[in-house]
Amino acid sequence: MNEICLLSDAFPPIIDGVVNVVTNYGRILAKDGYRVCTAVPEYAGADDSVYSYPVIRYPSLDFRKTIGYTVGNPFDIPTLHDISRRKISVLHSHCPFASMYLGRSLRAKLNAPLILTYHTKYDLDIANAVKMKLLQDGAIYALVENVNACDELWTVSRGAGESIQSLGYEGDFVVMQNGVDLPKKRTDEKTVQAVTGGLGLPAGIPVFLFVGRLMWYKGIRIILDAVSVLKAHGEDFRMVFVGSGTDEKEIREYAEANRLLDKVLFAGSVRDRESLAAWYTRADLFVFPSTFDTNGLVVREAAACSLGSVLVQGSCAAEDVTENVNAFLIEENAESLAACLIKAMAHPESMKRIGENASGDLYLSWDDAVKNAEERYQVVNDLYRSGKLPQTQKHGRGIFALSKELLDTYDKAEAFLRRLR
């Protein structure tokens, strides 16, 4: 197999879940001997010298103040030409927007299959970012049209695949789970104290932890309402939120209005992986009542440190867990969460048992996750070459066929200029 091209709308210096996936794919594919490149939008202050593979940047507009990202131009001819000169066997997009337009523009020229990994419920992100219903509908239409255009759809959970099918995706999907870049071990006590000491976490008092973007739709109101119940019952505990987000101000105000600041700690964003592992090690239980997340990678991060989780029954994050064996399961409400936490505090040995089982059952390293992807790349490539991928023949018209013609013309013009020299 020749080169694999990873396409993403986000890449460092931006940090988010998709960036974590793409950088780990690139790192491990290169380590495993594959030729790999990434095609991503330009970001001010980016330092691509740290990567062991080429990073191709294409022109973009900076919308970080409004949506948190830059928006690239996927029809930039010089960029398309640069990528089309590479011997690429597989195009793998990790975003269903600009990256897919870029991939669709390249597919015919490269004669390579286009895989899309669907990471999150983008329709909820669209609804949160775009308030006008007409614009929301247009964005979702474009999203589904792009997903329908891929040669194979990978999702990080069954729920993620069912979510995009409910929006109009017409095909099947392959579940390809993401891995964890934390080692499978608990952090040493010295590091834990260095990271968490002096923050008002008394020894012997249960610590509950949430890690992720501080957005209401991640179940944070359920957490705050549940710990209000615990406090009213006279329970002693600490609830720690690690992360930041656009709803952070409202969330802090809600905690203050409910007089929870003596029990609730906002630790801010933690980007250092060793420091994050220290938080997972310090906690007694990971609280993640989100039905938004399609994979719940943080649940596996917690499992790496033998920390068990409380999850919503039927959520994507709870797909692979067994109730009361490697996770606690609740209904999606504060009363159910409060009852679960009160019971767990009364039986601390159950929290330890759940965490140890989670470590054995739920942990998946990035090396193993990408190894699964490498095997599937070969299958997709073989299916594509044999003409057995149904999407290949359906979406080669319009502007994407024009892109191939423009690139062919660009190649001819370049060859002509070389002869003149």
**What's the confidence (pLDDT) of residue 270?**
92
Residue in this structure with the two tokens 């044999």, named with its chain if needed = 386
Q: Residue 57 has what pLDDT? A: 96
By CB atoms closer than 10 A (0-12, 13-18, 19+), residue 280 is buried
How far separated are the first and last CA of the chain, in Å rounded?
35
Rounded CA-CA distance 128/321 in Å is 29
CA angle 416, 419, 421 (to 5 degrees): 115
Predicted TM-score (pTM) of the model is 0.82
Asked if residues 26 and 103 have their Cβ atoms less than 8 Å apart, the reply is: no
DSSP string of 352-373, one letter each residue? HHHHHHHHHHT--BHHHHHHHH
What the chain holds in terms of domains, given with CATH numbers, is: 3-179+367-420 (3.40.50.2000), 189-363 (3.40.50.2000)
As separate numbers, helices (DSSP H) first and strands (DSSP E) second, the chain gives 15, 15
With H, G, I as helix, E, B as strand and everything else as coil, classify residue 380.
helix
pLDDT at 416: 46
Give the CA count within 13 Å in the CB-facing half-sphere of 5: 28
Q: What is the residue-level pLDDT of the chain in tens, covering all 421 positions?
A: 789 999 999 999 887 788 989 999 999 999 999 999 999 999 888 999 999 999 999 999 887 776 667 888 998 989 999 999 999 999 999 999 999 999 999 998 899 999 999 988 776 666 666 666 677 777 788 889 999 999 999 999 998 899 899 889 989 999 999 999 899 999 999 999 999 998 989 999 999 999 998 999 999 999 999 999 999 999 999 999 999 988 999 999 999 999 999 999 999 999 899 999 999 999 999 999 999 888 778 999 999 999 999 999 999 999 989 999 999 999 999 999 999 999 999 999 999 999 999 999 999 999 999 999 999 999 999 999 888 876 544 554 555 655 565 556 546 555 545 555 5
